[in-house]
Each structure stands twice: as C-alpha cells, then as structure tokens.
C-alpha cells in the first residue's frame, strides 16, 4: 500500500500499527496583530511548513522503549541542563541556580489536593529531579 494514500481509500480495515501517512506541506498565518494579545504572539506572519510523514497511531510506551533500547537515545529529561542554553529562555539578568539544581529531571503532573484557579498552570506541575 502506498503510505501517502493510506487514509484515502475509505477502507474500514485497520491500518497496521507501523503505517505512516504523508502530511503535505503548506503555508499558514501564525500569530495575530491583536494589540490585546501577548507580545510573543505578534505579529501575524506567514509560515511555510515542509511536508512530513506522521504515524497513523500514537506511539506507545512499549514502542518508545524499543526505540530507546535500539538506538540508545537519551531523552531531554535525562540530560543535565546546559545553563548557557537555558538562560536564553529566561529574562535577562536571571541568576544562575546552584549547580546542584541543574540536574536532569522533568515536570511531573501533580494535581493539587484542593480547588485552585485554572489561571496558573504551575500549580499543576512540579519539577522532579531524575524523572523522565
């Protein structure tokens, strides 16, 4: 089967879990010119996206583990943060944290025990050293 047309035949037969489909490239307008928007959302501008392939189904944890085992891939969460790269994402003048804070880890979803505002996503996530 031509994987670029795997979803175009209206078949009800399930596709194999390894099937991929072609997503055509194109252009779209990203952002806004609305003065009430966040500064990082402006200005509206045209963006061109190249064509790419995408799996028909989501990747399972088992499939990702097989990939990691076969390739020895190291996830972002397993890498020690590079302060020079990290500080480029922070406001100018942000002081460097203590070296013992610059450890591999990940944000972990941790729902609060009591009702909280939905306006602050940080109450739902905690940095957990060693999590991946």
Confidence of residue 14 (pLDDT cuts 50, 70, 90): low
In whole angstroms, give the CA distance from residue 83 to residue 102: 8
The tens digit of pLDDT for each residue in 41-69 reads 999 999 999 999 999 989 888 999 999 99
What is the pLDDT at residue 7? 46
In whole angstroms, give the CA distance from residue 74 to residue 80: 11
What is the pLDDT at residue 66? 94
Domain spans in the chain, listed from the N-terminal domain onward: 3-73
In whole angstroms, give the CA distance from residue 66 to residue 43: 42
- DSSP symbol at 17: T
Residue 100 pLDDT more than 60?
Answer: yes
What is the pLDDT at residue 119? 85
In whole angstroms, give the CA distance from residue 22 to residue 111: 37
The pTM (predicted TM-score) of the whole model is: 0.50
Q: What percent of the chain has pLDDT over 90?
A: 58
Report the 10 Å Cβ neighbour count for 107. 14
Confidence of residue 11 (pLDDT cuts 50, 70, 90): low
Tell me the average pLDDT across 63-87: 92
Confidence of residue 26 (pLDDT cuts 50, 70, 90): very high
């Amino acid at each position: 089967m031509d994987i670029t047309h795997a979803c175009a035949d209206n078949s009800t037969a399930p596709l194999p879990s390894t099937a991929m489909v072609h997503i055509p490239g194109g252009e779209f307008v990203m952002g806004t010119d609305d003065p009430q928007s966040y500064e990082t959302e402006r200005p509206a501008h045209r963006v061109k996206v190249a064509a790419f392939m995408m799996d028909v189904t989501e990747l399972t944890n088992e499939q990702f583990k097989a990939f990691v085992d076969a390739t020895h891939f190291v996830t972002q969460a397993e890498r020690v943060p590079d302060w020079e790269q990290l500080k480029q994402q922070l406001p100018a003048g942000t002081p460097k944290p203590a070296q013992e804070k610059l450890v591999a880890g990940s944000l972990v979803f941790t729902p609060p025990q009591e009702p909280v505002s939905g306006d602050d996503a940080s109450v739902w996530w905690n940095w957990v050293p060693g999590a991946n």
